[in-house]
A and B are shown apart, each in its own frame.
Chain A
Amino acid sequence: MLINFNLNNENVQVDVNPKKRLLDVLREEFGMTSVKEGCGKGECGACTVFLESKRVNSCLVPIFQVVDKKVVTLEYVKSWEAYKILENSFIENGAVQCGFCIPGFIMSTVSLFNETDGKLNKPMIEEKLGGNICRCTGYSKIVDSIYSFADDNAFLMKIKEGFKDEKQ
């Protein structure tokens, strides 16, 4: 079946089984390998992408559900100014180990700021990132990397700018 959707701000078309998972379509048809499969059951968060600006586990989304919708992956987000700042924070804080969960954490973090208007406290981070599992770090340094922007308005504006770009 021909499926049309918007991927990373471009209209795309793909001919696949409509039941195919968004995760597989992104990886196999479009080479979006930042989207990782950790569990295939919506439990680990490694395959997090944005669907209509909301984060979803792409392993639980059949491709027919994205027809005419907007899908965004880290391949696009990584060009945002906000991403560069976040990337730097994760590096400086030593928050990355094996790295397999990390793209998912970045996507959830970006979404977290967008949804909470940036006024974050640690319990909110815990709640919103509770669906992203990491086996290496003990989470502490990941939280440190994020918490440093807890009330950073300039950073929040950059996140919003990213999402605005995407809506154009």
Chain B
Amino acid sequence: MSIKRSELRVDAKEKLNGEAKYVRDEKIPNMIFGATVRSSISNGIIKNITFSKDYNWNNITIITAKDIILNKVSFLELDMPFLAEKFVRYIGEPIVLLASNDRDELNEAKKHVFIEYEEFPSIINLMESENSEIKLYGSNNIFKEIKINKGDLESAVVEAKHKISIETETGFQEHLYLEPQGAVAIPEPNRVTIRGSMQCPYYVKNALDKMFGGEKKITVIQTTTGGAFGGKEDFPSLLAGHAALLAVKSGKPVAMFYDREEDVRYTTKRHPSKCFYTAYTDDEGLILGLDIKLYFDGGAYSTLSSVVLSRGALTSIGSYYIPNARVIAKAVATNTVPSGAFRGFGGPQAVFAIEMLMEKIANELNISPLEIRKKNLIAAGLDTITGQLLKYSVSSKETFNDAIFMSRYQEKYDEFKKHNKNILTKLNNGDYPKDNENDKLKGIGIGLSIHGSGFTGTGENKIRGKIRCEVKDDGKIEIFTAITEMGQGEKTTFRKILADALSISIDEVLLSEVNTDLVPDSGPTVASRSTMVIGSLLVEVADELIEELTDILNTENEKGFVYKEGYFYDGDKIVCFSEAAKKIKGKHLFKEYSHPPLIKFDDINYIGDAYPVFSWAASIAEVEVDPVTFETKVVNFYTSHDIGKAINHDQVIAQIQGGCLQGIGYALYERTEIKNGKFDISGFNDYIIPTLTESPNFYVNVIENPYPFGPFGAKGLGELPLVGAGPAVASAFWMIFNKEFNKIPILPEMILEKIFEKEGTYVD
């Protein structure tokens, strides 16, 4: 069994010619539309809901909290309602649902719903939450607190020669998948079928099972999904719930289709963070101890904040070996839209903090950014923050060296420093900084990143992802899994893994539609787990099929068959796989995942193997800054990724490029803040993501350092590219200006502020 380098995407053609049906493209007879009436205040009690008597409501279906059997969306906790009943916690919180066949009428009807509130003060700033008099969650507004202790921080403090601190800040990030959120609920007497754009059909099914108190049979079908990035992990449960409530009451299929403005204002974002790092080092910058505090803004309800925080805390030391450390991490409540999953899941915030700490130590001790990282880099044989001893598939050094070599970092660093000197001197003196119109400041930065593959801790063992495979009449094998295609390439990857494991053509492997009536619960499509976790089950299926068919052929022929490259062979007879497989047509194979017993984690004390394995990356960003306008651009981006094994090489490269560009956007462009209690954006016009013009030349290398328990050695990929890109970009700004850049996105006005900062100088 061997893996082919690349396979063309199986879903490309229908997407190119426009025939792929996303949820808005489907024709569903008698379908009507739903709309949401939302809270106009950030915090308060709902005193009264009135429906204007002058308005004709005959054609409108109305749902309020009273219509819901169990009015809580089932995530990790049951705190968020489908519709607010007694109180509201953020501007935009759904209160009333309306449905009609006429969308113009819906817009009019919304104006005739009047909600009377008693308004309370609200918490908007995450740092004010914990000690606030205003109580949104429990006694202290903390959704989750994590403490990790490693070694003996106190003795490191005594031993150290330097104490170096940094505070970092990251903002909201909007997913901005091209296809906005959308779901349709189709009612039948005892059943509701959901068709929609989503990552996790079983999350939706479980949420609706609970919402209806088991009174309806729920079927969830994923339609072609136009991007997700975590944004369609948790939110579709709420949206599908809304559609289902309206559908059952109206007796008609109901579509909840958000337009872009509704989507960016009222759906989840990446958790904003404030991180406080204090390093205790020796004279050479070796970190002896590290004191870390992380604060994540969870928004109004807990949703997935506890697990996002968990990954943040576990990733808080990045790619480094820290012998003594203390981590205190808190996810707090504020009166804002609940934060949710976003590619990286707590990692990007924490990795930004540790990487900026590296910059600061380098800066203060006058060590090069490379040297400081090299000195503290973790390696096989060392242990992580939870005491997880790294035994296999560790590529911290390999990716680091590869990225430096590929980018000619050192050479460019020196060259750019020299190049910038003249421009910076002029800026410093208040002179016009350009000799030529095209003069730019040039920077080069480095960022290292790490991402644990699969769920944190014991998650995989709790959820036990399942698949089923079926042998078809013609000897083809059909895979049934709840893992979804959302653009990342799962449809091709899964078929390719099974095909390559059997040494047969990808055309001999089929993949079922994702319909909860047909597919078992494979767990959600999140956490860079699909290829590693479910992919390993596909290899098990292949092994079982080969073994069983070999046995059957041996019994039938009283010979010794061996399996060779897609054929069973016994010396004089040769049978191709599909021919042999026909002998067991109709057979179902079931597989269920759990970690190899070697992997052990203590969820309470955060000790042990937090992840079965980590993926590694090192990235180098070359940045240009216009010294007059402070307009920024990443010109070249180099990255080296170790993902164990590239299952589909070309698509791995594609995913790395796309993820890195999201990280670049996070570092330079993507900004939204809460103004007057709500997000100050309405879409692509004011939430700026990189276009083709902002996209750098990408140079991507994939290092293959196999994970012994992954399919063909593969481990996680999806999130890693985003995690390290932002820090690499920010590092280039430290290099150019010799100043502290501790906050992203780095906007032109922030650079200007740095220029005018009194202390420090940006000329070396």
Contact = CB atoms under 8 A, between A and B. Distances in A.
B698 interface: yes
A46 to B, nearest CB: 6
Contacts of A43: 683-685
B44 interface: no
Nearest to B19: A34
Given A41-B684, A97-B488, A130-B692, A90 B16 contact: yes
Contact of A91 (B12, B20, B226, B658): B12
Contacts, number: 167
Interface stretch (B21-29, B84-92, B130-138): B21-29
B18 A33 contact: yes
Contacts of A31: 27
A78 B18 contact: yes
Contacts of A133: 178, 684, 689, 691
B120 to A, nearest CB: 35
Interface in A125-143: 125-127, 129-143
A75 interface: yes
Contacts of B658: 97, 135-138
Interface residues of A, number: 52
Contacts of B689: 133, 135
A36 interface: yes
A102 B178 CA distance: 10
A134 B229 CA distance: 13
Contacts of A62: none
Contact of A38 (B15, B175, B179, B225): B179
Given A33-B18, A37-B24, A96 B227 contact: no
Could you say which interface size class chain B belongs to? 35 or more
A136 B692 contact: no
Nearest to A101: B178
B226 A139 contact: no
B383 interface: no
Contact of A78 (B17, B21, B177, B226): B17
Contacts of A139: 657, 661, 692, 695
B728 to A, nearest CB: 15
A95 B15 CA distance: 11
Contact of B683 (A39, A95, A137): A39
A97 B15 CA distance: 9
Contacts of B684: 38-39, 41, 43-44, 133
B22 A36 contact: yes
A98 B657 CA distance: 14
B226 A41 contact: no
A99 B20 contact: yes
B488 A87 contact: no
B240 interface: no
Contacts of B30: none
Interface string A90-127: 11101111111111001000000000000000000111
Given A44-B684, A137-B657, A75 B18 contact: yes
B748 interface: no
Interface of A: 27, 31, 33-41, 43-44, 46, 73-75, 78, 83, 87, 90-92, 94-103, 106, 125-127, 129-143
Given A39-B685, A97-B658, 20 more contacts: A33-B21, A36-B22, A36-B24, A37-B180, A94-B653, A96-B11, A96-B12, A97-B489, A98-B179, A99-B226, A99-B487, A100-B226, A100-B227, A103-B18, A130-B692, A136-B227, A136-B658, A138-B661, A139-B692, A141-B653
